[in-house]
Amino acid sequence: LQVERSQKAFASRAVSLVSLPAGAVFAHITHPTPATKAYTSVQISPNQHIELNSALVYCNHSCDPSVVFDMDKMEVRVGEGRELKEGDALTFFYPSTEWDMAQPFECNCGAEKCLGTIAGAKDIDEEALQRYWLNKHIVEMLEER
């Protein structure tokens, strides 16, 4: 991946340097460290977060994501039903890993079904969440809700 840096806050992004078919592994998450909930962390279980310690931290949110972060397998895969092309932005659906985000924000992804304010899976209607691949810990937390 290549990081395209921006002078604007939270506007830098990761871009793919390869083309891959739907479902292909894009990257393995290899050097995470335990963390507290923060805007840069990724939730891996109901009570645990990690820092990625890699350029993967520049994968931004989208309501029409190009990849999924599978925290059980510690891998990033191309989303089902779509190809990843060289030059595509690497984006994932933040609520697929985050129950309650440290720093909610107003999404500006431009997707046809953009969800607007992104604050974590706990604040999204379950019908809307059914459109997305979700990590096991998020599915379990939804069932407990």
pLDDT band at 145 (very low <50, low <70, confident <90, very high): confident
Q: State the chain's mean pLDDT as an integer.
A: 96
Number of structural domains found in the chain: 1
- In degrees rounded to 5, what are phi and psi of residue 123? -100, 10
Across the range 71-88, mean pLDDT stands at: 97
- In degrees rounded to 5, what are phi and psi of residue 89? -70, 140
In this structure, what DSSP letter does residue 97 have? Answer: T
What is the span of the domain harbouring residue 13?
Answer: 2-144
Percent of the chain with pLDDT over 90: 95
Helix-strand-coil split of the chain, %, nearest 5: 15, 30, 55
pLDDT band at 127 (very low <50, low <70, confident <90, very high): very high
At 99, list the tokens: 């129950």
CATH at residue 27: 2.170.270.10
In this predicted structure, the answer to whether residue 9 has a pLDDT above a threshold of 90 is: no
